[in-house]
Amino acid sequence: MRLIPVGTETHAIVHLIVDTQDAMAANLINTMCEGVAPLIERVTGGRVRLRILSNLADLRWPAASCRIPSRRWPIFGFSGAEVAHGNRRSVALRRRRPVPACTHNKGVMNGVDAVALATGNDWRAIEAGAHAYCAQRALPAADPDGGAGRRPAREHRVPIQVGTVGGAVKANPLIPSCCG
């Protein structure tokens, strides 16, 4: 619990941290927030005014990666090694400046949104959470090539809430059976 002064009042911020396993679990978490409100009021002697389910899922870090050796990257007259070097420089730059970070994040989210749509997840919630996270930093990525392909050439870790079971994933017949 965190206490935050607002004007002449002090507000308590209480976080429920729920391990939802493979479900997004928005309805479950909303129900839990409603359920603990009376207990919080009894314990604090105050009044619960807001029950917010945040899309900032900074404790949920699914990952996707692929291995593409730099020898496979030659493009526009540049060798694969030159492309990998330029990519490493762009990673360093985007960590320091908002314009390249914004462009990088949009590119990452293009792929994330496509997967979210295909699996019946709430792409708007995922976008909101990723952008809130990025308001403080760019989305992480590993160094390209990672030592001749021993590590992933590109890895993106995005704090998002996704579900592969339950809710809309089960309700929509267009969602592939692997996701429901």
For 17-35, write each residue's pLDDT tens digit: 888 777 777 788 889 999 9
pTM: 0.57
Decide if pLDDT at 109 tops 60.
Answer: yes
Comparison of pLDDT for 7 and 55, the residue scoring more: 7
**Banded model confidence at residue 168, pLDDT cuts 50, 70, 90:** low
| Ramachandran area for residue 61 (φ above 0: left; ψ -120 to 50: alpha; else beta) | beta
% of the chain at pLDDT higher than 70: 73
**pLDDT interval class at 180 (50, 70, 90):** very low
DSSP per residue over the chain, as a string?
Answer: -EEEEETTEEEEE-------TTS--HHHHHHHHHHHHHHHHHHHSS--------S--TT---EEEE---GGG--BTTB-HHHHHHHHHHHHHHHTT-HHHHHHHHHHHHHHHHHHHHHTT--HHHHHHHHHHHHTTSPPPBPPSSHHHHTS-SEEEE------SSSHHHHH-TTS-GGG-
Confidence of residue 170 (pLDDT cuts 50, 70, 90): low
pLDDT computed for residue 36 by the predictor: 94
Asked if the model's pLDDT at residue 177 lies above 80, the reply is: no
pLDDT for 151 equals 46
Q: What is the pLDDT of residues 52-69, one digit of tens each?
A: 877 777 777 766 666 777
